[in-house]
Homo-oligomer: A and B are copies of this chain.
Amino acid sequence: LREKKIPEATVMRLAIYTRYLKQLLDEGIDTVSSSEIAEAADVDAAKVRKDLDYFGEFGTRGVGYKVDELYGHLLKILGLHRIRNVILLGAGRLGSALALYPGFADWGFRINTIIDVDPQKIGKPLGKVVIEGLEGLERKIGERDIEIAIISVPGCEAQGLADRLVAAGIKAILNFSPQVLKVPEKIVLKNFDMSAYLKLLSFHLSNKSD
């Protein structure tokens, strides 16, 4: 966006702040301070202000931030002011849970295509979307204006699938498989390797004697 490069961690925190602001909005609270946001997000107030500072001046000194305005700014900053189409690849247990997770639709992410290779599943509905086979993947991504892919297939199939997605012009991938994916620079890739997170917990448990 701006001239400066925005730290990944900053964007992640902005994503957290939006949820709190939405809550305040629903409660009818109209003003909030950086220290209140900080408390809710479990960070410090200076960090909140610095995070916002990357994008402009949204507050009033001595007063704080107007909740509705700040919320609107953050939605714009994060690109959440519009619908984005998502393809889900793999309708296993995890994939099914993701397909039905309301937290995606709440923020404008519409899973409009679900793919699986199991003939038993093809043709059956998962939520409001009918599961389809892999054929014509590339065409569907183009025709249906899909920007984001969620991969929840076994690790061994993930890289091949990612290659096809990239060739089809996908812009972002959320990878739930434990496979490390290689994609071109321009593709936005986030990994969500759950066993890796458990290993991280395990490490800390083994070294609690700090």
Residues of A within 8 A of B (CB): 1, 6, 8, 11-12, 14-16, 18-20, 40-42, 77-80, 84, 86, 92-94, 96-98, 100-101, 103-104, 106-109, 147-148, 171-172, 174, 178, 180-182, 186, 188, 190, 192-208
Q: Flag if B78 contacts A199 (CB, 8 Å).
A: yes
For A78, give its contact among B1, B84, B107, B203 (CB under 8 Å): B203
Quick one: which of B15, B92, B97, B195 contacts A107, CB cutoff 8 A? B195
CA distance A195 to B111 in the complex (A): 13
Q: Which residues does chain B contribute within 8 Å of A12, judged by CB atoms? A: 196, 200
A206–chain B nearest beta-carbon distance, Å: 3
Chain multiplicity (copies): 2
Which residue from chain B places its CB closest to the CB of A172 in the assembled complex? B201
Cβ of A11 to closest chain B Cβ, rounded Å: 5
- The verdict on A194 contacting B96 (CB below 8 Å), with A174-B201, A200-B12 known, is no
A174–B203 touching, CB < 8 Å = no
A180-B41, A194-B101, A204-B188 as given contacts; A18 in contact with B79, CB under 8 Å: no
Contact indicator B94/A172 (Cβ below 8 Å): no
Q: How far is the CB of A34 from chain B (nearest CB, A)?
A: 16
Distance in angstroms from A13 CB to nearest chain B CB is: 9
Q: List 12 A-B contacts (CB under 8 A).
A: A11-B200, A11-B203, A15-B195, A15-B199, A15-B203, A41-B180, A78-B199, A103-B195, A104-B195, A108-B202, A109-B198, A172-B204
